[in-house]
Structure 1
Amino acid sequence: MKHLFIVGALALFSLPALASPAHSYAFGQPAAAAKATRTVEVVMGDMYYAPRSLAVKAGETVRFVLINKGAVAHEFSLGDAVMHAKHQKEMLAMQGQMDHSAMGHGGMEHGAAMQHDDPNTVMVEPGKSAELTWTFSQSTPIEFACNVPGHYQAGMVGRLTIGQ
């Protein structure tokens, strides 16, 4: 009987974790590349994206091919301005924890030190490419941005409009 009570209590306490995923987004969700109905190539340079704006439709699944032609690591992150501001604070904290230059260990490699598991975000090292596939769910304006400290402020942000 005691074991049944313990199992029941554990099941009850784990329900909130099962009911709300760690990452949920009002504008959509990650998808498998095979589900994409369109592929969009985005070039990442030092402090710019090309193109600077994108338009998708609600319900559309888009495979983004991200090509970093810049000299440093850059990020492609989908979200609204509030999400990006929060993410930038997290990235700044990661940089502070990983910056060993004051100890004579050289400068920080942004990409290696700032890896994270957000499904709406991909870090791309210089000269490399990566992919992100996303199904957009509702008509709302969002941004794609690089949240490596200082990059967003230097203009590495673009508008993504989700239409009907």
Structure 2
Amino acid sequence: MFLRKSCLLAGGLLVLSFPVLASPGETFSFGEAAPAAKATRTVEVVLQDISFSPESLDVKAGETVRFVLVNKGQLLHEFNLGDAAMHVSHQQEMLKMQAGGMLTATGMKKDGMDHSTMDHGDMGAMKHDDPNSVLVEPGKTAELTWTFGKAGALEFACNIPGHYQAGMVGKLTVSQ
């Protein structure tokens, strides 16, 4: 009996250790990507080295917001929408991308991975293409448009390794 419980626990932990990779057409419990033309409001978010401005945002359930993301820092940054658990999972994915040479301090390589040492089954098709996330290189501007589905507490964060932990996270409140 003890052995069976141990195997179940080990199997459960193994499943939890894999990153969640979203499909571009995937919807989330808190909303979905939308075309910019459907936006009812535009919000500019400035990404600086280890901070966002503004630090918090308020939106309404059902609202479609076009985020214009301006990286005024010297480092590559990310704007990722989700709850705290999603950010933890995405940080693991970003660590693997960095370890594989796909992410540098200032950009993302198209195919910068060292394929000779990588487990092709695990990372061969890894891309940064989640619909709730965008990378912004230093001095560049990018956009993400999102329709918020329900009221709740979310975060917008940079999950480049170490950035979230250093405080590059903001509160996003979705009200009715």
SS at match of 2:67: strand
Taking the aligned partners of 2:92 and 2:172, their CA distance within structure 1 comes to 22
Aligned residues: 137
Taking the aligned partners of 2:105 and 2:53, their CA distance within structure 1 comes to 24
Indicate which of 108, 117, 131 corresponds to 2:129.
117
Alignment TM-score, normalising by the size of structure 2: 0.74
Whether the 8 Å contact between 2:106 and 2:138 is mirrored in structure 1 is no
Taking the aligned partners of 2:109 and 2:174, their CA distance within structure 1 comes to 32
| Two-structure CA RMSD over aligned residues (Å) | 1.8
SS at match of 2:104: coil
Whether the 8 Å contact between 1:122 and 1:132 is mirrored in structure 2 is yes
Residue 30 of structure 2 is matched in structure 1 by 27
- Please report how far the alpha carbon of residue 108 of structure 1 lies from its aligned counterpart in structure 2 after TM superposition: 2.9
Taking the aligned partners of 2:86 and 2:106, their CA distance within structure 1 comes to 20
Bigger Rg over Cα? 1
SS at match of 2:129: coil
Residue 128 of structure 1 is matched in structure 2 by 140
More helix by share: 1
Taking the aligned partners of 1:109 and 1:151, their CA distance within structure 2 comes to 11
Whether the 8 Å contact between 2:27 and 2:33 is mirrored in structure 1 is no
Indicate which of 62, 65, 70 corresponds to 2:68.
65
Residue 5 of structure 1 is matched in structure 2 by none
Tell me the amino acid that sits aligned with residue 111 of structure 1: G
- Please report how far the alpha carbon of residue 109 of structure 1 lies from its aligned counterpart in structure 2 after TM superposition: 4.4
Q: Percent identity?
A: 62
SS at match of 1:116: coil
Residue 168 of structure 2 is matched in structure 1 by 156
Alignment of structure 1 residues 29-108 onto 2, 5 Å = 29-98=32-101, 108=104
- Please report how far the alpha carbon of residue 112 of structure 1 lies from its aligned counterpart in structure 2 after TM superposition: 1.1
Taking the aligned partners of 1:73 and 1:29, their CA distance within structure 2 comes to 24
Taking the aligned partners of 1:70 and 1:91, their CA distance within structure 2 comes to 19
- Please report how far the alpha carbon of residue 152 of structure 1 lies from its aligned counterpart in structure 2 after TM superposition: 0.1
Taking the aligned partners of 2:83 and 2:104, their CA distance within structure 1 comes to 28
Question: Could you give the per-residue CA deviations for residues 103-129 of structure 1, whole angstroms, max 9, x where no partner exists?
Answer: xxxx93453149511000000000000
